[in-house]
Amino acid sequence: MVCLHYSYFHICWCSDSYRIGGFSQKHVFITGCDSGFGNLLARQLDQKGFRVIAGCLTEKGAADLAAATSPRLKTLLLNVTDSASIRSVVEFVRREVGERGLWGLVNNAGRSVPIGPTEWMQLEDFAKVLDVNLIGVIDVTLQFLPLLKKAKGRVVNVASILGRLSLIGGGYCLSKWGVEAFSDSLRRDMQHFGIKVSIIEPGFFKTGVTSVDLINADLKRLWARLPQDVKDSYGATYLDNYIRMQGFSMNILCSPDISKVTWCMEHALTAQHPRTRYGAGWDAKFFWIPLSYLPSFVSDFVVNVLLPSPKDKASS
């Protein structure tokens, strides 16, 4: 029995470690490269010889990345909520890759806010996040599929552990659950054409998406527009308690080592046999993902520990 277990893990390890070759002939397009995961991945792949094309939202982000990388890396301005912007980028990439096609597409662009209690949201608050994190991913992927089919390439979609556990209100968790579902259906449909699809599920990391200052400023905006009766039901100190407890949790949970995520992305692009899902970070692997398999009352308890209760909380 011990020998069988050893053989199984040895086969898995060997399969996981086999890599493709010819990096210098492979093009990879990455969205959201101004900072964070996308920025580091672009630099990482550039150093390994890939022909990286990096989509950035701002001119400054594009200029800073270009200055930090080789002349081989190309930067483009891209707004993933604008189909015309995506079409323009696809045309540029088509000219760059020629008949080889596009080896890798990494859908990394994303936003977090508005997040907070669901009752504080309006419909447009959900739309702001879904347009970037889900509809943008779908639009970019659909427009790049013909180039990916030519190369029998890879699609790497950045979801989150919040695509398994809905820990907070707003559009973020909804969008990441959507990315999980879209990626699963895409993987099954495109496997017939040799395209492999991988999902990255990061835990909590220090990036622009998890910026406490950004989240707190938006929470104050949401609170300020609430009707007085809704504010009264939460209590005068609820916002301050929410910000304090969320900040405390984020400071403990968020890892500064974002290379744990970009290593997963790189593996999905370079492994002979990429994984379907990558849990990125120790918190994802050993806490959040296991928690997602437990009964809902357990995750409800965790959320209740991490966030305050409203003043008018109903008794059980």
Catalytic residues: 172
Q: Are 103 and 39 in contact (CB under 8 A)?
A: no
Round to whole Å and give the CA distance between 242 and 152: 47
- Cβ-based neighbour number of residue 316 at 10 Å: 3
**Which candidate, 34, 150, 132, places its Cα nearest to that of 85?**
132
Instruction: Find tokens 């559009």 and name the residue.
Output: 171
Structure-block tokens of residue 311: 């003043």
SS3 state at 159: coil
User: 74 φ, ψ to 5°?
Assistant: -110, 140
Q: Per the omega criterion (within 30 degrees of 0), is the bond before 114 cis?
A: yes
Separation CA 164–CA 216 (nearest Å): 24
In sequence order, the 6+-apart residues with CB closer than 8 A to the CB of 278 are 198, 199, 200, 201, 264, 265, 267, 268
Q: Judge whether 44 and 104 are in contact, CB under 8 Å.
A: no
**154-158 β-sheet, strand order:** 74-77, 51-56, 27-30, 104-107, 154-158, 196-202, 277-280
